[in-house]
Structure 1
Amino acid sequence: MKKIRVGVIGAGNIGKVHIDALRNLPNVEVVSICSRTNMEERAKALNIASFYTDYKEMINQENLDSVHICTTNDTHFEMAEYAIEHNLHVVLEKPMTKTLAEAKKLYDLVKDINLVHEVHFHNRFYPANQEIKRNIKKAGKLNLIYGNYLQDWMTPKDQFNWRATKEASGVTRVIHDVGTHFFDLIEYVSGHKVVEVFAELKTIYDERNGVLIDTEDIGVVIFKTDKGALGNVLISQSVPGIKNELKTVYVGENATFSWDGKSVNESHILYYDKDTEIIKTSSIETLKNGIMYDVDGFFDSFKETLRGVYHKIENREFKQEFADFSDGLHSMMIVEAIYQSYVKKDWVKLNEL
């Protein structure tokens, strides 16, 4: 069986997860990696013979079919553009790009050509979320969608990361980094699309490790959907003691569906007049062909997301569940609308951007 040749740009923590997930797929071979520094050492540790410090050189020389871009936000556009121009399928870590303008350009590049493109929103592939999506009609008309995405790794004042400045991250930090996960998930599960937002952002520390900070630590967003629901979300990476908590709640006329994020295999249905139902499921039908794949955590969700991507490359008629550049563009419109709302202190409609 001829394997799909993949190059990975970015050999940090998330790039390594991509590589490990790809190595669990029978139709894929990771043939090369690229990063700015320590490439010989990193390639040896990952048991990859071919390595580069220049992504263009890797794309030009390695006869790739697909490329994964696992780098800082400010590099996504140029790398994806170059890959597309060289007829490569593209997997992009979220957020799609640093700016909305860049996302629009990438979408325009792929919308009329036969390439597979993905923006990596892996939470779609947890069994709990797929089960809610499958049963969401039982809730009746959805009137309210709410939740949070909270972490604590940016709590210390001396904690600094490239995401903390607009130069590398974009106009927001926590909205770009984890808020995009929340919005993609609730839209995927509910079938609603966010159309209007009102937001407030707060920066806790104006300086970290001697660097002036121009991005937010906290985001609070109220939103409206195209199907008449209201929603709100609290997003922060400076909540002491909460390591990683993504919660989503879908409130309908008949029932409430809830995922508390504690288990990727368990969700709840709450009723007005009867006991709460606990729904447990441990596997998903990634390829819609009757074969079930176990998903027990973060790594498995990556693997199943990419299983769908590489099945799509070989079977273009496959009806995908993964997010593509159209979804990525919409996600970036939400980010931009949130930032504009914060600046203007007013509601902002996505279709007016």
Structure 2
Amino acid sequence: MNQPTTQPLKVGIIGGGFMARTHTRAARAAGAQVVSVLSSRPERSVAAAAALGIDHAAATLDELLERVDVVHVCSPNATHAGHARAVLEAGKHVVCEKPLAIAPEEAAELVDLASRAGVTAAVPFIYRFHPMARQARHEAAGGGIGRLLTVRGDYLQDWMLLERDSDWRVDPTVGGPSRAFADVGSHLVDLLEFVAGERIMKVNARLGIAHPTRGGRPVQTEDAAVCIVEMEGGAIGSLMVSQVNAGRKNALTLELGGTNGSVVFDQEHPDELWLGGRNGSTTLSRDAPSNVEDAVRLSVVPAGHPMGYLDAFNAFVLDTYAAIAGGAPAGLPTFADGLRAAILTSAVLESSRSNSWVDVSTVSDRADVQHIL
């Protein structure tokens, strides 16, 4: 087990795309030293090092592992499990992009391996780190909205709207068997369960494909998914995920309705919550005097100064590094949360295939993954 250190963490990055840039910035903002990067080929590692301002371009994963304390895995989906496994077997801390793995069995293996290694292993479900998402959690858990009755969630984008729009994620051998749901639906279900403080028990889902081909390749993975869900306390609700909704760029919205009131978090307007009541509704702003302690902790600038995606990402990485140093920051998403998202993604796919409800009420730990496969 790695021991806490007062020296700056030495970070390695696997990957060279958008998420690698985001992780690199967040690691530096947290005071770490990003010392090496590995991409798919040596020449691409060199190009990534130049683009990210990293001194060392690794030719192999072993070469990167020799130099670092923690590795951020930002490679294509199908390689996540293999990269994370190698990092854990080397006894290093790891941050792995979602999906943690493209199958629940692989994700479960990684949870067990991380536990045995005694290291910090985190998944960037970063929307938890908006201060007002923590405030929404408080409103739900603190009894402010009462007993949960209904849930509604949407995560809508349009970057795959046109037939000519394509990406490596379209290829299931690289992106995995789910595209839209694994990519952004995983964020939605994680945020729902985190804010509600309840798990999804049953799922009934349908998938949609907008275009039969993209870039000359047949499309086998979904552009959109709609789910009916039942929560453990009996609440019912609907979830919509789409990457083909024209004009929607990153519209993540979550509404929880209870016996006393409702709360709505909108990621595109992250500095406020809508609080609904029978006798009137209000908007609660990110402002220290009116916010719960966990929201105040994540508010790094005064009210009136907008906070957004990069602030949330930086907060996630800062909390991950705090955990590596021996702390226990509230709400850190671990590999167990990555497994949970993999289980729910698998349930969505199975429900669509079988045209039936899928019960995940007994899928609560690693040993239970086999029940939904």
- TM interval, shorter chain, is over 0.9
* 1:288–1:258 Cα change, 3 Å: closer
Other structure's SS at 2:101 match:
coil
Letter of the 1:199 counterpart: A
Judging by fraction of residues, say which structure has more strand: 1
Partners of 1:286 and 1:308 within 8 A in 2: no
When structure 1 is superposed on structure 2, of 328-337 and 50-59 the one drifting more is 50-59
Give SS of 1:258's match: strand
User: 1 CA distance for matches of 2:292 and 2:263?
Assistant: 21
Q: 1:52-74, CA deviations, whole angstroms, 9 ceiling, x for partnerless residues?
A: 24223311x31x21100001110
Is 2:135–2:294's contact at 8 Å kept on the other side of the alignment? no
> Is the 2:319–2:329 Cα contact (8 Å) retained in structure 1?
no
Aligned partners of 1:260, 1:101: CA distance in 2, in Å? 33
Give the CA deviation at 1:298. 0.8
- The partner residue of 1:214 within 208, 211, 220 is 220
Once residues 256 and 295 of structure 2 are traced to their aligned partners in structure 1, the CA distance between those partners, rounded to angstroms, is 25
Counterpart of 1:6 in structure 2 is 11
Aligned-partner Cα distance in 2 for 1:299–1:319: 19
Residues in 2 aligned to 1:139 and 1:285: alpha-carbon distance in whole angstroms:
15
Asked if 1:310 is matched to 2:349, the reply is no
Check whether the contact 2:131–2:298 (CA below 8 A) recurs between aligned residues: no
The answer on whether the counterparts of 1:286 and 1:292 sit within 8 Å (CA) in structure 2 is no
Match in the other structure for 1:333: 343
* Structure 2, unpaired ranges of 5+: 1-5, 364-370
> Which residue of the partner structure matches residue 130 of structure 1?
134
Residues 266-309 of structure 1: CA deviation (Å, up to 9, x unaligned): 111011112x1111116799989968523711111110001100
1:149 to partner: Cα distance: 0.4
Change (3 A) 1:320 1:345: same
Question: CA–CA distance in 1 between the matches of 2:178 and 2:133?
Answer: 26
* Structure 1 residue aligned with 2:368: none
Residue of structure 2 equivalent to 1:320: 330
Residue equivalent to 2:3 = none
**% identical equivalent positions:** 29
The answer to whether the aligner puts 1:23 opposite 2:28 as a matched pair is yes
- C-alpha contact 1:282 1:296 (8 A) present in aligned 2: no
- Paired position in structure 1 for 2:358: 348
For 1:282 and 1:155, locate their aligned partners in 2 and report how far apart those are by CA, in whole Å.
37
1:156–1:114 CA distance, 2 compared to 1 (3 A) = same
Secondary structure of 1:44's partner? helix
1:298 is matched by which residue type in structure 2? Answer: Y
In structure 2, which of residues 155, 173, 176 is the aligned counterpart of residue 170 of structure 1? 176
- Paired with 1:50 and 1:268, the residues of 2 have a C-alpha distance of 47
CA 1:209–1:87 in 2, change beyond 3 Å: closer, same or farther? Answer: same
Q: CA distance change for structure 1 residues 207 and 286 in 2, over 3 Å: closer, same or farther?
A: farther
Instruction: Structure 1: state its 5+ residue gaps.
Output: none
Equivalent-residue separation in structure 2 for 1:282 and 1:265 (angstroms): 9
Secondary structure of 1:177's counterpart equals helix
User: What are the residue-to-residue correspondences of 1:1-353 with 2, within 5 Å?
Assistant: 1-26=6-31, 28-36=32-40, 37-59=43-65, 61-62=66-67, 64-136=68-140, 137-274=143-280, 276-281=281-286, 292-294=299-301, 296-316=307-327, 318-350=328-360, 351=363, 352-353=371-372
Q: Paired residues, what number?
A: 348
